[in-house]
Amino acid sequence: MIKRYLFLFISLYSIKMLAQDKVLIAPFTIVNGDTFFIADIPEVEVLAFKDKNERTKYYMLKRRVLKVYPYALSAKEKLMSIQNGLDSIPKRRHKKRYTNEVAKWVKEEYADRLKNLTMTEGKILVKLIYRETNTTSYEILKSYRGRFNAFFWQTMAKFWDNNLKTEYNPVNIREDMLIEHIIIQAKLEGKLE
């Protein structure tokens, strides 16, 4: 029975190809009398949601990640340029002056936009900065602005239910796994970079 359907399928497929003046022979393998066609099928990742509420939360997370991710990329680029600038400055007091100027510029450039982020978007931004730089926001502040500034901003973050020491862990934390999925999918679709 299966052989008849297979023969019918191959016959119809061949007729269709002949009608187009092209003959296409698909690679196949015969195992125990059964014919298996060989084809490359693109990988499809399937997300399973428990219910409609979880699906809604996923799409809200996706919107937030796509909004905040450009800031994380900008932070990564800025940190690289700051480090390059600091490496070229020999004296400590000149380095301090340079970091103060950069901090002032960053505040002028990004303060208004970052103030408009929600608390949840701020938490996601902290995770994405860790993802891009492999350093917590607290460590970045401590290394460039000093312990006191890092402590002050960590205290402020805690007051607003955030934590600058948050790390990004897509293997063990479901939200981080979903964030990673969102970023990979957005890059494949051309929505990012």
pLDDT above 90 for 125: yes
Helix (H, G, I), strand (E, B) or coil at 68: helix
Kindly give, in sequence order, each residue whose CB lies less than 8 Å from that of residue 118, ignoring residues fewer than 6 positions away. 64
Distance of alpha carbon 3 from alpha carbon 30, whole angstroms: 12
pLDDT above 90 for 25: no
Entry pTM: 0.73
Give the Å distances, CA to CA, from 78 to 17, 81, 138. Answer: 56, 5, 16
What's phi and psi for 8, nearest 5 deg? -65, -45
What are the structure tokens assigned to 19, written together?
A: 């009608």
- Quick: pLDDT tens for 89-100: 888 888 888 888
pLDDT computed for residue 147 by the predictor: 92
Query: Which of 21 and 80 is assigned the larger pLDDT?
Result: 80
pLDDT above 90 for 16: no
pLDDT computed for residue 192 by the predictor: 73
